[in-house]
Amino acid sequence: MLDISFIRENVDLIKETARNKGVDVDVDRLVLVDGRRRELIQSVERLQQERNANSKLVKSAKGEEKDRLIERTKGINQQIKELEAELEKVMTEYQELMLRVPNPPTPDTPVGEDDSDNVEVKRVGEPPQFPFTPRNHVELMEMHRMVDIERGVKVAGSRSYYLINDGALLHRAVIQFALDQLGKKGFTPMVVPVLVNEMALVGTGYFPLGAEQTYHVEKEDKYLVGTAEVSLASYHYGEILTEGELPKRYAGVSDCFRREVGSAGRDVFGLYRVHQFSKVEQVIICRNDEEESKRLHYELLQNAEEILQGLELPYRVVQVCTGDMGQGQIRKHDIETWMPSRGNYGETHSCSTFHDFQARRLKLRYREDNGELKYCHTLNNTAIASPRILIALLENHQTEDGRIRIPEALQPYMGKEFIG
């Protein structure tokens, strides 16, 4: 959510941002509703003041004057009641429109429609050149009984799976490896709730625009998270932190659930795009300062790169264009890891800066040393997501005889050098 004063002063910028991000919001209507909202608030406050003044006069008045003041007070109360009823309706529309307003990206963000317009920043490592016909991850996993997709679909429906034997162990190994790496950098490890109230999803910007991607548990009126970011960023909901305790660095471990509406026929082979997966998410809450946000953004990005380097995987970093950004992001980079079966890089990490967009929704502030209250800035980035990362691990490290070499960094977690 943005400051309404900023929106009023930058209507053209907000309209341009909505067009570039593909967000449907009527900015002119918002400005009109905001104007009526302010008029009603002023009218109610003016009448309340008059009522209070009348109430004081009633105490000393007598006769017809007292009766006149009492009647006037009754009339004021009726006017207030009618205005407050209208104000309630106006506020409902105002809040709905405010929740749809997108956050303007940084000036250096490339303008584009989708991920094909993202701009490559760098590449690290070289894709392997196999002297044999490489197998895809499903073939490798079935060869070593690491996965059972057929029974996963039977039990849970499309895009479901069982990880078995070394599949389960490798999954747990990459999760723990990422968590350990972040622990060395001062991140607080957290196992977070995956079933949350609507407040947490509205607060982090996943509602209302992303509601169709979220599983709703109707009986309890709660929702399954698609990332630990939701629970981590909401951890300090409604709180006032101190400047001295910032920045806060959290590493959240969770199962994640996404409906993947609209992705039928796209990236659905094997374990690339599934409904349930596990993730270690990095979240930072910091001061309201662009230079600090920018520095921490690249810190998060570097953390993810170091994890991929430890896994000995080739990857590239892209700067995400406007059409591929979320509503609240002002700066975003994706990391795409080489996946031989796709003959291309596949997204495995997303690094995002929001400034105070989430904090305003979450009522998350801090008190500066001088006593002034400010909204925090929030940032997040994937540390690891599995089983998608297993695609790259298995396919890049396979040998001609079908074995899979385990990267040195994972060998202590797996207790061996090869699978198979």
CA pair distance 14, 6, nearest whole angstrom: 9
For the chain, the helix, strand and coil percentages under 3-state DSSP, each to the nearest 5: 45, 20, 35
Cis peptide before 247 (omega within 30 of 0): yes
Report the relative pairing of strands 365-367 and 240-242 from DSSP bridges: parallel
Of 37, 231, 388, 395, the catalytic one is 388
Largest CA distance in the chain: 106
CA pair distance 30, 101, nearest whole angstrom: 9
CA pair distance 311, 405, nearest whole angstrom: 11
Of 51, 249, 258, 331, the catalytic one is 258
**Is 258 labeled as catalytic in the residue annotation?**
yes
What are the tokens at 175? 């999760």
CA pair distance 330, 379, nearest whole angstrom: 10
Of 234, 293, 350, 386, the catalytic one is 350
What are the tokens at 269? 């082979």
What are the tokens at 140? 């490798």
- Cross-strand pairs, 224: 195
DSSP letter for 86, please. Answer: H
Dihedral angle, C-alpha 32, 36, 38, 39, nearest 10 ° = 140
Of 229, 305, 347, 395, the catalytic one is 347
- The closest alpha carbon to 374, from 365, 382, 363, 385, belongs to 365
> H helices of 251-311, where?
290-310
Of 123, 172, 273, 342, the catalytic one is 273
**Is 220 labeled as catalytic in the residue annotation?**
no
Q: Which residues contact 227 (CB under 8 A, 6 or more apart)?
A: 254, 256, 279, 281, 380
**Is 388 labeled as catalytic in the residue annotation?**
yes
**Is 68 labeled as catalytic in the residue annotation?**
no
Q: Hey, which residues are catalytic here?
A: 258, 273, 347, 350, 388
